[in-house]
Amino acid sequence: MNFRHRHQEEPEINLIPFIDVLLVVLIFLMLSTTYSKFTELQITLPVANTDAQRDYPKEIIVAVSSDGRYAINKGAVDGRSIEALSLALVNAAHGSKDMVVIISADASATHQSVITVMEAARRSGLNQITFATQSTPK
């Protein structure tokens, strides 16, 4: 009888097939997933309560029409470029830098038209900008 202890080898777990399967699953998920940068949202824009209306002593009112035309203090601006609008804002400010620019844009005016007014005001040195709103029907 042989009573010697045999050295029994411990079982070894091979992880290579497991890693291969995980990589295949990861590649499958990456290829089958669709990423959308923008999702369509249904939003309702807020309505302003204009019960307490502010009165600015030094204000420049810039009206933006739906087709992209501009008017400063009810006078039409020649041209639709930033430079033309900036020159008209400088003339309306009469050299004063503490004037408040009130942007009164049509509801269907493009976003670019409003951004053009803001950029022209920045170039003119007019840093105080606000937006005109319409009161809610009661």
- Band (pLDDT 50/70/90 cuts) for residue 37 is low
What number is the average pLDDT over the span 16-35? 88
CATH number for the domain spanning 92: value is: 3.30.420.270
CA atoms of 30 and 93, how far apart (whole Å): 57
CA atoms of 64 and 16, how far apart (whole Å): 66
Residue 18 lies in a domain: no
Residue 124 lies in a domain: yes
Domain of residue 69, residue span: 59-131
Question: Total domain count for the chain?
Answer: 1
Residue 109 lies in a domain: yes
Residue 87 lies in a domain: yes
3-state secondary structure of 115: helix
**Quick one: pLDDT at residue 40?**
47
Residue 138 above 80 pLDDT? Answer: no
pLDDT by residue (tens digit) across 81-121? 999 999 999 999 888 888 899 988 888 888 899 999 999 99
Residue 72 lies in a domain: yes
**Quick one: pLDDT at residue 19?**
93
Residue 8 lies in a domain: no
